Structure 1
């Protein structure tokens, strides 16, 4: 009996030992799994110069190291070579052991990146790479290293090659939920409208949503290209005027009074005195002429406190301004302006063809048509054209409405085959105080507006350069307070008393030029971060 008891106790002990061993084995296996998961987990601790990691998030770049790594522009990659690319991750698709990425640079250029499980001999490395790629979010900034190989990829702008990924690291991760999808924001108005009767209509992204997230909206290829073209307009403007003997100047934007009558001003405190944000560089351009700068121009901000919520008005825009001494007639200035605009229109098509094509894929337009010599329509002739188009023009001495301008533009296009023209000799009553009256009929003035596609983009005139005449006009406009000591016009008129050349000039709205030349539906599309009566951010 004792023997049987001992055997039972031994078997029981063996079972307990087996149970403990099994439990210990499970614990060991769990520890191994946890260690393995920790070993393969992606941590934000990979330094920029770490050459041992095939994937993972970089530490925040704080310029603590200086690395001589060379990055290759995506469009400059060569098949058969290896390259580092820094791109946005436009999209990622994982299918089993295969990963396909679309990498984007400079908004326009895209290239396919691929990774296949069999590319790495170590299965753990392959699994780790795929797991990491799954964690990446669209619009993140990534560094990719790999070999460039021949391919046929119709969905990317670089269609004859792709990069086989060997390393990938996130430089800056995007939130997984975006304000809107770039694919939706890149569709034309016609595409969106045509889809509304289908089972899966495309979303119609409102202007306010886009402007609230303008940094995302500007990643849309067409919108990004618009601002590149805008930069081009500034460059072409400068080129033309430099070639015609102009000097670039920079004038104050904090001034002591209104620079133009009739236009609203933003007022601010200036150390206990009242100051205004400049509505234009007008007075200072003229004082530059008095300072013996015979031809000057400026590219700078202009502020208008006008509560106009239209598709063509902004409270802050960029002014392209010029002023020049004239010898005998203000049409000398019109010739300069015409040459300058020709240079802009031709340059946009010849130098920015790729950007223009991208823009026109979403916002349709034709190149601006223009004449070889200035197309100048005198006011009274323009009024007759508008009247013949069916509009009531009253006594013909009132400023034109938007509808009347468009009608005039249509008639001029039909008659003269041009989108760009000059309307000359405006009534004196609707022009600023510094405008020179016509010699033979003071009801009219030596002033002009310039138009693209029937909408005004530039206003200019010969200026009153005689101090006595200027004082009389200022008083007739009810602005004599500005002539008092310390007034906003005192020094301006004083500069004329010390001798000044006859002169004329023009003020051009940069955003208007871009908006109308590109056939856009709203001037806000031509402003990086628009300011209107309802928008002060972002």
Structure 2
């Protein structure tokens, strides 16, 4: 029988007609609401900035940070991100607005002059959208714990979307505001707030969202502060900023830990260090040089301490009588950097330490109080503490022993920063000056700077005498090929005694904040398994 088909088609026709009628009624209602919208022209999506239709606002612009200091009832225009938006009712919505480290609670309530449509638009703006808001800053009677600006809130009268985010984000920025899970924890681990702990790999896969968190904004403020303080201190002491090549004809540090690249049909390597060029510049009478730049190490180390590309803060300088002149200057340099972090960047430091429950860094007030131990004295401390470590003049101490020694020094001298000098000559690079100038010396004129028991700088006096350098290379069986010839030859023309060192900027940030992984101190980390984003 065909009747059921006819009835079904008839029902479908009736339903379609009803839907059309309903849509028409809704459109009419919307048109009526729009016509009666008292807030029309006070919200919406702005034309693309830079397009012919975009028109700048005439009002004075304020930063979100400044709202904590301006007078009560001041009208402001602010550009910021929507951290989150929530509707309380058809007439009331709250937004949390964010800019860098700062956030403020915003309120939008329907009234005779503000429509429900404006409230709905604000409450449905996707998180992470960039907006311009106009509103009045008002003091609050109660502390607003969900924002960094806790004694003010913003009462919105206009809201305009500059750039809208997608509704569904791959990770929530709020989840990046808490510490990474401990190693080995499951993906379903939750923090004290009950929010999921997003694994480091997931955060790095979505790094552009991850970096928006106040936690990461603070970390990279500090990262920038280390770089700025490095240059500031050394520039005031007549250091010259230089840029050395990163594509070399042969490895700068020897060994097999270098990346080989094809260079116009020939083989070249990525620089493991600017070391040889720094020394050649000293030989060129540059006297004092500094450089911040990338270095590359082909270490297949998937640890929390290693990267295949990191930023090296290098310096090299002449000295007059003793290599410790340089060691003391570098000591004062790192003390200056850490002092700057404890003062100028105290807010950022506290934000990160709060997330990671880290103890404050123990730093003597005067740089002259930084503990300095010889390598042998360090071995003695370890042995007295029950760690059997041989002082055989050949071996370096490992990372576990370094960490233990850091704990021992902190306990004895109340300092998380110390210097270990006179390492075994056999444990150092070929250009390291032997103690006393004897090629068969057991120790060397070298030093490492330690923070919380982890090396952040390695340095030494360099061999500046051509005959001694050549004899040292011969003793080590290192051939003077094309890649080393220019370097070795520069010492034939006379070279001042000199020393220097290199900081890993990520290591300084890592240990200042007591982070759990060096990747957290790196904008876009590179390791054996990661070359994106």
Coarse TM-score class (shorter-chain normalised): 0.7 to 0.9
For 1:265 and 1:337, how far apart are their aligned partners in 2? 27
Greater CA deviation, 440-449 or 424-433?
A: 440-449
Structure 2 residue 165 is the aligned partner of structure 1 residue 177: no
C-alpha RMSD of the superposition: 2.8
- Counterpart selection for 2:48 from 40, 57, 60: 60
Matches within 5 A, 1:51-450: 53-64=41-52, 67=56, 69=58, 70-77=60-67, 78=70, 79-96=72-89, 97-106=91-100, 108-120=101-113, 126-152=115-141, 153-155=143-145, 156-188=147-179, 201-262=194-255, 264-363=257-356, 364-370=358-364, 372-373=367-368, 374-394=370-390, 396=392, 397-439=394-436, 442-450=441-449
Instruction: Structure 1: give runs of 5+ residues left out of the alignment.
Output: 1-25, 42-50
Structure 2 residue 462 is the aligned partner of structure 1 residue 463: yes
Scaled by the length of structure 2, the TM-score of the pair is 0.86
For 1:200 and 1:242, how far apart are their aligned partners in 2? 46
How far is 1:306 from its partner? Answer: 0.6
Q: Residues 399 and 112 (structure 1 numbering): CA distance in 2 closer, same or farther, change over 3 Å? A: same
Report SS of the residue matched to 1:118: coil
Decide whether the 8 Å contact of 1:263 with 1:279 is kept in 2. Answer: no
Who is 1:17 aligned against?
Answer: none
Report SS of the residue matched to 1:306: coil
Greater CA deviation, 147-156 or 313-322?
A: 147-156
Decide whether the 8 Å contact of 1:315 with 1:531 is kept in 2. Answer: yes
Who is 2:14 aligned against?
Answer: none
Greater CA deviation, 367-376 or 322-331?
A: 367-376
For 2:261 and 2:180, how far apart are their aligned partners in 1? 41
For 2:202 and 2:414, how far apart are their aligned partners in 1? 39
Instruction: Structure 2: give runs of 5+ residues left out of the alignment.
Output: 1-18
Decide whether the 8 Å contact of 2:191 with 2:197 is kept in 1. Answer: no
Report SS of the residue matched to 1:102: strand
Q: Residues 503 and 61 (structure 1 numbering): CA distance in 2 closer, same or farther, change over 3 Å? A: same
**Aligned residue pairs, count:** 495
Report SS of the residue matched to 2:305: coil
How far is 1:33 from its partner? Answer: 4.4
- The structure number with the bigger radius of gyration is 1
Q: Residues 101 and 336 (structure 1 numbering): CA distance in 2 closer, same or farther, change over 3 Å? A: same
Q: Residues 164 and 468 (structure 1 numbering): CA distance in 2 closer, same or farther, change over 3 Å? A: same
Greater CA deviation, 526-535 or 210-219?
A: 210-219
Q: Residues 163 and 412 (structure 1 numbering): CA distance in 2 closer, same or farther, change over 3 Å? A: closer
How far is 1:319 from its partner? Answer: 0.4
Decide whether the 8 Å contact of 1:263 with 1:304 is kept in 2. Answer: no
Q: Residues 282 and 27 (structure 1 numbering): CA distance in 2 closer, same or farther, change over 3 Å? A: closer
Who is 2:505 aligned against?
Answer: 510
